[in-house]
Amino acid sequence: MIARACQIRQAAAAWHADPHALHDFVAGRQRVEVKSSIGPHRTHHFLLDQLLPLHGTYTIIASSVLEESITGTSIAGLGEQVLKRDELTADLRDRVSQILALSLGRDWRKARGVAFDTESAAARLRLYDAVTIPKVDPCLPVEVMDVQFRAELTEAIPMSSVELARQGGLFSALFR
Model-level pTM? 0.94
State the CB neighbour count (10 A cutoff) for residue 1.
Answer: 19
Question: Across the chain, how many H-helices and E-strands are there?
Answer: 8, 8
pLDDT at position 111: 75
Asked if residue 1 is part of any domain, the answer here is no
Determine the structural domain holding residue 40 and report its residue range: 8-174
Q: Is residue 94 part of a domain?
A: yes
The C-alpha atoms of residue 16 and residue 26 are separated, in whole angstroms, by 7
Question: In the chain, how many domains are there?
Answer: 1
Q: Yes or no: say if 88 and 96 are a contact pair by the CB < 8 Å rule.
A: yes
> Going residue by residue through the chain (176 aa), what tens digit of pLDDT does each one get?
999 999 999 999 999 999 889 999 999 999 999 999 998 899 999 999 999 988 999 999 999 999 999 999 998 899 999 999 999 999 999 999 999 988 887 777 777 788 999 999 999 999 999 999 999 999 999 999 999 999 999 899 999 999 999 999 999 999 98
Tell me whether residue 96 is in a domain. Answer: yes
Would you say residue 144 lies in a domain?
Answer: yes
Residue 104: its pLDDT value, please? 82
Q: For residues 133 and 33, give the distance between their C-alpha atoms in angstroms, rounded to a whole number.
A: 12
pLDDT of residue 19: 85
Structural domain contains residue 3 = no
Within-domain flag for 2? no
The candidate with the shortest Cα–Cα distance to 69, out of 38, 104, 100, is 38
